Amino acid sequence: MLYQLSYVRLGRRLYRRRRNNPGDDIGDRESDAMAQNDLHETAKALVAEGKGILAADESTGTIKKRFDSIGLESTEDTRRAYRELLFTTPRVEEYISGVILYDETIRQSASDGTPFPRLLASKGIIPGIKVDLGAKPLALSEGETLPSDYCIWSNAHALARYAALCEEARIVPIVEPEVLMDGTHTIEQSYHVTSRVLKALYTELYDQRVDVEGTLLKPNMVLSGYDAAERAGAEEVAEWTLKCFYKHVPAAVPGIVFLSGGQSDEDATANLNAMNAKGPHPWQLSFSYGRALQAPALKAWGGKPENVEAAQHAYYHRAKMNSAARSGLYAPELEREAVTA
C-alpha cells in the first residue's frame, strides 16, 4: 500500500506541473525515453554473450544450511569472508555479468574496506539485490502448495507489480516464477504446469504495463520430478523447455536466465548447453545459478583461509563451464580442467 500511495502522489505532482508548464512535457518524455533505454541496455548487458549471473542472495537461514554442510558456523564475518572470496575471484568477470546480493551482503565491504557493490562494479559486474524475504503461505488457501489457478494468478499478479515498481525505480526486474520440481511427476506434467504459470505471468505483466524489453525472466527448466522413477535426459529437457518457452515468452524479452533449482552442478550446465545447441533463439538463454555455481567452491574452501585460492579456482571453473554452455560448446570432458589445472 505504501508503494501504491507513493505512486499516486508522484502522478499527481507530474500532472499538476505539466498542466502549469505544458512545455515540460518534452523534457519529461525525453527523460522517460532515456530511462527506458537504460533499462534495455542493462538487461542486455546482463545476458551478454558468454556471460551469466551469480545468485549470491541466499538468506541467512539458507546460507547457514550451506555452512552446516562444511562444519562452519554462520556468522556475519564468515558470510562476509565467503562472499568476498567469490567476488574477488580473478578474471571471473569474463563469465559473470551480474551478481544478485542479499540485503546483508549489499551493505558489507571487502577486507580492504571497499563496499561489495563498488567492488563488483570495478570489475564490470552489475550488482543487484534480492528484494523478497522468502515464501509465505498464500492467504485463504489452507496451506496449499500445489499450482491451482488461484495460486498461479495470485503469484503472477504479485510478480507483475514487483516488476512495474522496479521499472518505475529504473531497476531491471529479474522476474522469477519458479515451479518447484520436488515430487514424482513426469516431464510432461512439468511442461503443462510451467506453461500455465508463464501464460499467467505474461498476461499480468502486460496488464501492469511492464516493458518486457527491460526485464529478464528467471524460470525453472522443464524437468522430471526429482523423485520420478524415470528422469528425462538433457536432450529431452531441452525439447520440452524450448517448446514451453517458444509458446509463452515474448521475443522482446532480452534473456532467460535459468535457475538451477535442485539440479546437480553438471546437470544444470548440460541442460543449458543442450538448449543453446538447438539455437539460435529469440532470447539469450543464460544462467542465474546459486548453488550450482558455488557448491564446489564452498566445499573447497571449508572455511579455511589457506583454501581461498582453491575455492576461487573451483568457482571460476564452474562459471567457465556455464559460459561454454551458453553457446552449446560444453562437453563433460571439459570438467577435467578442474582436476588438471
Question: pLDDT tens digit string along 123-158?
Answer: 999 999 998 877 788 888 887 778 899 999 999 999
| Sign of the C-alpha dihedral computed for residues 69, 74, 77 and 82 taken in this order | positive
Point out the residues that are catalytic: 176, 218
CA-nearest of 124, 114, 116 to 93 is 124
The most distant pair of C-alpha atoms in the chain lies apart, rounded to whole Å, by 70
User: For 58-62, what is the mean pLDDT?
Assistant: 93
Provide the pLDDT for residue 12.
25
- The pairing of strands 174-175 and 216-217 is parallel
Orientation of helix 149-168 relative to helix 187-207, angle to 10°: 50
Q: What's the CATH number for 39-340?
A: 3.20.20.70
What's the whole-model pTM score? 0.89
User: For 101-122, what is the mean pLDDT?
Assistant: 97
- The pairing of strands 126-129 and 174-175 is unpaired
> What residue spans define the domains of the chain?
39-340
User: For 98-112, what is the mean pLDDT?
Assistant: 97
Provide the pLDDT for residue 29.
58
